[in-house]
Every structure is written in structure tokens, then in C-alpha cells.
Amino acid sequence: MAEGFAIKMSTEDYLDVGKLKKECSKIKSILIKNDEDIVTLDEVLADFVGSDLKSVAWNSIKDHISLYAAVTAACMEADSLDLVDVQKLVSSAGSCLKHNVYNGNVIYSEGKHEYDKMVECLNSVDYYMGLQQNNPYCDYSLVIGWYSLWALSHKRAYKKYKELNDEFFDFESDTSGLFVNGNEYRQLAYSGLLNLQKKYDGKGYVIDEAPAWLVKLNDLFNKKLSSEIATKQGSRALLKAYGYTDKEISYLEQQKVYLSASDMINLRRTKGNNKTFVSSDKKAIFYGGKVYVIFVPDYLHQSYDMVWENVGSKRGFDCNLTGDLSIIKHVSEISLPDKNEVLTTYDKNGTVVNLQDKYYSYRYTNKAGQTNTYRNKNVGKAGALGLLPMVNSFISENLDSTTVDLEFKKSGKNGECRRVVINVSNFQKNQYFSNLPYNSKGIATTDSYSSSDGCGKTFASEYAKGMYEQLKGKKADKDKNYTIVTSFSERHRENSVCGHLYYDKYGTLMYQPVVYPDDKANISTLNKLDQYGFNPTMVYDATDLLPTPSECDPYVSTVLDMALNR
């Protein structure tokens, strides 16, 4: 019995594979040309936004024009997705379609004809076989044989048309989802254009902080990134379309910096103005339409480096936040503690109470009276850092004297290598290192006990004991006084920068202190004679902990944000 008729093509279906490939080639050229035009448009918009024209009206127009960067980014993303889909279309045509033309009218009508003839012949075979059974003296074998051959011939012809039908629908199924994603971005770009055209109220342009189309566009980018994090190949394609050279892209790839589609929106928004954005992977900062890799100088292991030219800088500082350190002012220079704040931390035997809680937290209060408490999360391994003025000076001093500077630099024949150094400076730290007693070798050695006065000596010793127990993992000798001995290079006095900021692999803002080869730190004990000038005895060498990075407190993060947004 014959199987059912299975050709689904309609008489209106038609596909010329040769013409399809030619059309795909034309579309590809158009999309590439579109991207080139968008890059040119971006440059024009950037020149306008970055012009010297200044007034309330001009600033309103510039802010309005800068939002078009998101529209052009959506258009370029749509082009990028369509380019990929065009290639998939051509590739699918090569794998699914084995013939040049698929004419639904021919395939259906001829296939139906061959199928009907096959069924007719098979029915004839059945008919004559019935006669043969009922009339054993009559020979119908020749007729049956001929109808069987005709049925087989029509079946083979039908199968040919059925295969054409299957190839057509395999191709249709394989390409059914193409050009959908690109169209979604185009619709958002169109919505953005309509929205921006309506933002003039007769006096100026009204800028929405978070217009619905832009929020949806960013959500779309983020949704894409959740399953397709910025890859080397994708980043290269985006940067290439943006106008980056192969050398510029290669430098970023060497630094493991790969940009996502949403990064490209922010990168375009920095063209022609002073805006800055941090990349989604927190490895780079966008500035002036370029990508700058976040770089942390290594003062301990100096080596040959390229010549870097300054491109620009941004500064962030704030005098509205004031630090309130109730425990310690300087590890190596502790004066008499405030009676209400400190002496209550000792019991009747003079033992410090809640050592860890007290020594690793501070609070800051803004002018609105809001108080926030920050606890050093690196107490375990890097606890000694809290004792060293090079870190302590910017974490726990008068916080309104902290400054964060972004230095943008370029190198290479055509400036293809770009990096940004995030410097942290502190006025108290600079004063501290300027006043240290450096010897003829340019080294200044002090200890926290000898530099303290009155009750401050007891506090300094107990503090050092607490640090010793944290780092060494054993009890301190209760009959001995402890001190923290620090030796610092004179180069600290010559360098106003006390450390650098960067983001770790988890996206946490970290502080890397400036440490020179001659810097040393240790915890030592003192006997009664040592208190009057004899050398301390080292019980723990903390030198290796000096360059250990620590998580930034909220204040420094706020200052960095100020620098980025200025």
C-alpha cells in the first residue's frame, strides 16, 4: 500500500539558490556600508558634543545629541546581528540545498502527478493479482509485472520531488529564526529616534535620565551578555566595526580586555566629551572614545617599559565627608587617646577589650548626619596593613584630604597602546613621610611604641600584640611590650601617590599601596631596658604583607565615582 502524499510546498513557493547568494552578498555590502556611515555619524556627533560652545541652551542640545550614541549603537548591533544571520543563511543554503532552483509549482504538481500514477499502478497490480488468484488457469504475471515496473518508476520520480520538498523545508526550518534579533534592535533604535524628536519643549531639550527605550535596550544587551559574555571574536568584530585598527585590538587582546555590545554604547558616549565609563568586566575605562586598560604600577620589580604620553586626566575629591577615627591616628605616632573613646576599651587590668572589632573599623559622617561604619575585611591575611601608615593614612585619616586621579596615557607609533592609572593621594600621608628622620641611605625607621606618649604607649603595645596574635596565630607574651617597627624609603617623600586602585576578578574595587624595595615592617618585643633606647627584638616579619592589596572602603569608592563622573 502506498504511503500518504507528503509534499507540502505550495504552488507559490519558489527559491533560486544562485539569486539568494547574490542577494546575500549585496545585503552584506549594504550592512558594512551602513556601519561605515554610522562611524562617520558618530564622529560628527562627537565633534559637536565636544565643541567649545557653552551655554545653558548649548549644553541642553549637547546632552540631547549625546543620547543618539545609544541609537547608533543599536543600529550597529542590528547590522552586526544581520551580518551574522546573512552568513548563516548562505551557510545553511550550502548544507541543506543540493539543487539550484526550488519551484513549488513544479514540485507540487509534478510530485502529485507521479504520486497519483504510482497509486494507480499499485491499484492495478492489486487488481490483477486478485484476478490471478480467482482464475488460476489465466496468466496475468506479465501485466502485473508491467504495472509493478511502472509503479516503481513513478515512485522514484515522486521520491525525487519529495526530496526537493524536504530540502526546501529543512532550509526553512534551519533559517526560520534569522533576522529576528536584529529587527528587535532596529525597533528600539526607531523608538529612540521618535522619543528624542519629541524632547524639545520650546525652551530646550528635556533629557530623561532613564527613557524606556534605552532601559529596554540595555536590558536587551544584558540579556544577550548573560548567555554570551564578551568573547575575543565578538569583541574584535565590534571594535573593527567601531573603527579600531588591528594593532589597537591586538593590544586589548594581550591585556585580556574584551568588550561587549553594551560596552560599545558607553564607548560611543565618551566621544568628543569628558565622560568616562568603566567596562563591564572592570578591566578598562572608556575616555575620549578610546579604551584605556586599568594599569597598576609595580614599584618593587621595576623593568623596562615603553614611553607613555599623557593624554588627559580627571580628579575626584570631596570635602563634604569627614573621617572620624576613634581608635588610632598613626600607628607609628600614637598620642594620648581620647578618654571617652579609647579608655573604655580597657578592662580593670588594662587589657584591651574587643580588639578585633575596635581596631578594624571606622566610621565617617557626611554633613547630613548620616553615619556609616566600615570594617576592614582583610583582617586575617593582610591584617598588618591596617597598622602601616602607607595604607592607614588614606583609609583612616581625615578622609576629606583624599584625592583620586585618573591619568590616561598612550604609547606606540600611532598611540595604539592605551592605559589608565588610578592614583590615590592623601595630604596627611604626604606630611607624614615628609617629616620622617631619613638617614644618609635615604631610609627612615620608626616604631609605634617609642613614637607614642603617655597612655598612647600602652595602647601602641596592646595594638601590636593584637596584630601579632592575628598574624602569628599564637598568644603574645603578656609580660612584654610590643611595637611595630617600620622602615620606609625616602622615595615616599618624593612621590605624592600613596597607592593605586583597580578592580579584582570579582569586580571589587581594590587598593594597591605603593611599596618600594627598601620598605620593611615587623612586629618586635621590648624589655624594660629597650623602652629607654635599646634595639627591639623582631618576632614577626611583616614585610611581605606590605604590597598586599586590600578592599577599598566606601569613601574611596565614592571619590573614584566623583572622578569618573566629573
Q: What is the pLDDT of residue 50?
A: 67
| Chain position carrying cell 586602585 | 501
Concatenating the DSSP letter of every residue in 158-205 gives HHHHHHHHHHHHHHHHHHTTTTHHHHHHHHHHHHHHHHHHT-B-SSSB
Q: What is the pLDDT of residue 202?
A: 58
Q: Cα–Cα distances in Å, from 106 out to 110, 229, 297?
A: 6, 47, 73
Q: What is the pLDDT of residue 66?
A: 73
Q: Closest by alpha carbon to 175, among 294, 74, 91, 292?
A: 91
Q: What is the pLDDT of residue 207?
A: 59
In which element (H, E) is residue 24 found?
Answer: helix 17-49
d(CA 38, CA 345): 65
Q: What is the pLDDT of residue 392?
A: 38
Q: What is the pLDDT of residue 340?
A: 35
d(CA 271, CA 189): 19
Residues of the chain with pLDDT under 50: 226-229, 318-399, 530-531
Q: Spell out a b/e string for 55-70, using b for 16 or more CB atoms within 10 Å of the CB, else e.
A: eeeeebbbebbbbbbb
Q: What is the pLDDT of residue 357?
A: 35
Q: Spell out a b/e string for 442-456, using b for 16 or more CB atoms within 10 Å of the CB, else e.
A: ebbebbbbbbbeebb
Beta partners for 375?
Answer: 361
Q: What is the pLDDT of residue 406?
A: 93
Q: Spell out a b/e string for 249-277, using b for 16 or more CB atoms within 10 Å of the CB, else e.
A: bebbeebebbbbbbbbbbbbbbbbbebbb
Contacts of 300 (CB under 8 A, 6+ apart): 515, 516, 517, 547
Q: What is the pLDDT of residue 342?
A: 33
Concatenating the DSSP letter of every residue in 236-249 gives HHHHHHHT--HHHH
HSE at residue 437, side-chain half, CA atoms within 13 A, is 5
Q: Report the SS3 class of residue 440.
A: coil
Q: What is the pLDDT of residue 158?
A: 94
- Are 549 and 506 in contact, with CB atoms under 8 Å apart? no
